[in-house]
C-alpha cells in the first residue's frame, strides 16, 4: 500500500483518539496532537501547528453545535473570557522578546501538573457541606458581576468581570509567552475560579477554542502553514473524535469527568515539560 495512504490512515486513527479525549474534557486535543505530528510523522513544527489549528475549527464547531442543543454551552461567559485571552496572547508574544522564559517554563509545567493532581483529591460529602466559601467564591461577588442562569439545567452562578478579565488575560499571556495553544487552561479556570458545572465548562471551553482556532488559522494560512496534503487526515480524525467524545459525555458522571480533566492536565504538563526540555536543551 502507498506509504502516504498508510501514514494518512494512522494520522486519522490517532487524531480520532486524541480528539475524542480532548473533546470529552474540553481541551480540544491540540496540545497532544502537535508533538505527535512532529515526532512520529515528521511534520515541520509550523505545518503541524497550522494543521491542528485549522482542524480544530471543524471539530470544535461540530462539538459546539451538538452541545448547544443540550444547553451546555455558555456563549456569554465563553465570549467574555475569550476576549481578554486573545489580547493576552498578543501581550505574551510581545513579552517573549524581552523576557527569558528559561526556568519559568519548567515552573509552569509543575504548576499545571499539581493542578491536575488536585482534581484527584476529592473532598468528602461532609467536608463539602461544612466547607466555607473559598477565595474565588468570595471574589466572584465583586462588582461589576455577571449572573448566569441555565434554565435547562436549573442552575445559576455568578462571575466577577474583574476575574474574567484577569484570568482571561493571564491565560492568554502564558499561552503567548510559552508558545502553547492554551486550550487546556480554559476548562480548569471555569471550574476552579468560576465554579461552573463541569459539563458546562467543558462545552464552553470548546466554543472558546472555536474562536481561537479561527483567528489563529487566518494567520497560519497567510504564512503558508496550512497544506491540504498534510491537513486533511487531521481534519477527518478530529471531526470523528469530536462526535465520539460528545456522544460519550452524557454517559460520564461529573466526578469521573473531573478526574479525566485532571488526567488531561497531568498529560499536558508532561508534554510541555518534554517540549521545553527538548527545545531548551535542559
| pLDDT tens string 45-54 | 889 989 999 9
Q: pLDDT value at position 58?
A: 96
In sequence order, what are the residues at sequence separation of 6 or more whose Cβ sits closer than 8 angstroms to the Cβ of residue 12?
Answer: 233, 236, 237, 240
Which of 41, 7, 61 lies closest to 33 in space, CA to CA?
Answer: 41
Percentage with pLDDT > 90 across the chain: 47
Q: pLDDT value at position 276?
A: 73
Whether 242 shows a pLDDT value over 80: the answer reads yes
Q: Which three cell numbers stand for residue 160?
A: 466577577
Q: pLDDT value at position 125?
A: 47
Whether 175 shows a pLDDT value over 90: the answer reads no
Our count of domains for the chain comes to 1
Tell me phi and psi for residue 248, to 5 degrees: -75, -30
Whether 126 shows a pLDDT value over 60: the answer reads no
Whether 14 shows a pLDDT value over 70: the answer reads yes
Domain that holds residue 80: 3-280
Whether 204 shows a pLDDT value over 90: the answer reads yes
pLDDT-based confidence at 275, cuts 50/70/90? confident
Whether 124 shows a pLDDT value over 60: the answer reads no
Whether 87 shows a pLDDT value over 50: the answer reads yes
Q: pLDDT value at position 98?
A: 75
Comparing 2 with 128, the larger pLDDT belongs to: 2
pLDDT-based confidence at 140, cuts 50/70/90? confident
**Partners of residue 159 on adjacent β-strands:** 146
Give me the mean pLDDT over the 58-66 stretch: 94
Q: pLDDT value at position 180?
A: 67
Taking every pair of C-alpha atoms in the chain, what is the biggest distance, in angstroms? Answer: 63
Amino acid at each position: 500500500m502507498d506509504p502516504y495512504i498508510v501514514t494518512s490512515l494512522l494520522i486519522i486513527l490517532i487524531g480520532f483518539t486524541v480528539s475524542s479525549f480532548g473533546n470529552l474534557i474540553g481541551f480540544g486535543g491540540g496540545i497532544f496532537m502537535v508533538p505527535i505530528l512532529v515526532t512520529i510523522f515528521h511534520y515541520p513544527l509550523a505545518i503541524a501547528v497550522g494543521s491542528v489549528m485549522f482542524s480544530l475549527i471543524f471539530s470544535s464547531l461540530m462539538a459546539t453545535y451538538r452541545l448547544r442543543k443540550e444547553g451546555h454551552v455558555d456563549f456569554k461567559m465563553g465570549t467574555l473570557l475569550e476576549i481578554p485571552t486573545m489580547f493576552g496572547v498578543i501581550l505574551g508574544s510581545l513579552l517573549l522578546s524581552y523576557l527569558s522564559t528559561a526556568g519559568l517554563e519548567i515552573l509552569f509545567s509543575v504548576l499545571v501538573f499539581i493542578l491536575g493532581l488536585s482534581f484527584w483529591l476529592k473532598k468528602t460529602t461532609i467536608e463539602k457541606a461544612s466547607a466555607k466559601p473559598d477565595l474565588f467564591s468570595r471574589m466572584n461577588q465583586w462588582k461589576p458581576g455577571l449572573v448566569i442562569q441555565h434554565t435547562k439545567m436549573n442552575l445559576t452562578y455568578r462571575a466577577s468581570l474583574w476575574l474574567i478579565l484577569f484570568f482571561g488575560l493571564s491565560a492568554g499571556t502564558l499561552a503567548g509567552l510559552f508558545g502553547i495553544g492554551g486550550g487546556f487552561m480554559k476548562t480548569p479556570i471555569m471550574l476552579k475560579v468560576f465554579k461552573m458545572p463541569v459539563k458546562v465548562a467543558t462545552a464552553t471551553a470548546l466554543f472558546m477554542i472555536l474562536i481561537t482556532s479561527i483567528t489563529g488559522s487566518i494567520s497560519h494560512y497567510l504564512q503558508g502553514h496550512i497544506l491540504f496534503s498534510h491537513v486533511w487526515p487531521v481534519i477527518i480524525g478530529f471531526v470523528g473524535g469530536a462526535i465520539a467524545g460528545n456522544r460519550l459525555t452524557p454517559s460520564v458522571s461529573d466526578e469521573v469527568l473531573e478526574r479525566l480533566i485532571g488526567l488531561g492536565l497531568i498529560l499536558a504538563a508532561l508534554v510541555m515539560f518534554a517540549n521545553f526540555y527538548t527545545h531548551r536543551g535542559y
